[in-house]
Structure formats: C-alpha cells, structure tokens
Amino acid sequence: MLLTREDDEGSTHPYCYARVVGIFHVDVRYHQPGETAPPLSKRMDVLWVRWFDYDTTYTAGWQARRLPRIRYLETDSPYEQFGFVDPSDVIRGVHIIPAFAHGTTSRFLGPSVARSFKEDNIQDHYDYNFYYVNM
C-alpha cells in the first residue's frame, strides 16, 4: 500500500496498491560526463511490483461497511502493469482477499514469471477478477 502516485489524475482514493513480485538490491554507478575519476557504486533497494487498479464502480468505506475492492491493472502494455518502487515509499502491507464470487480471468496477464505456479496446473495462469483490501 502506497500513497496515490502523482500521475494518477482524477483519483479520489488516497492509496494505490501493488503486489510485490520480487525484492532486489542493485549496485548503481553513475558516471557524469567529463568526469575522470571512476564512479563510486551505491546500493539501491527496489521492489518489483505488479500494480492493482482501484475499483471506482464499487462503493466502499466505513459508511458503506465494505472493504475497498481492487483488480489487477488492465492494459495492453506489460510496461504499465509492472513497476519498481522504493521500499521507503511503502506505507504498510495489507492483506489482499480474492473475491471468489466474481470468478477468475486470464485477460489481465497470461502465463508469466510474475506468478508462482506449477507447469502442470493450468489454474495458476488465472487471476481473480477482483480482490478486497483487508486493512
């Protein structure tokens, strides 16, 4: 759970959600143009995430007595479905509950390394249509 990104214009929900796919530690070297000394490396920690999209058609909150509902980001570009996040931007971890009654789909993402699955189990290639955010 993170604060809503600045590029999410028109979003009324204060948070955005993502599933952590991987945790990486990267040694980065930046060499400025014209610099003769060898660059020093700096360690950066990053989270590789798959983004969720907040369901604005569903009324949720304390007054409605319902948990927020999200779904995986539906886009043709895999570059928008995934991203990297600085771990210091994470507010807290939340429990994501599959909305079993709404069924599953493969339209968000086909077979991918972003899922842990066994090759003989075709059910692992599906996502649930919706998930509830248990805070």
Domain carrying residue 95: 2-134
Mean pLDDT of the chain: 84
Quote the CA–CA distance of 28 and 104 in Å, as a whole number: 40
Per-residue pLDDT at 106: 78
- Give the single-character DSSP code of 90: B
Residues 67 and 134: beta-carbon distance below 8 Å = yes
Q: Count of domains in the chain?
A: 1
pTM for this predicted structure? 0.79
Q: What does residue 73 show for φ and ψ, rounded to 5 degrees?
A: -60, 125
Determine which helix (DSSP H) or strand (DSSP E) holds 78, and give its type and residue range.
helix 78-81
* 23 Cα distance to chain centroid: 13
* pLDDT mean over 123-131: 80
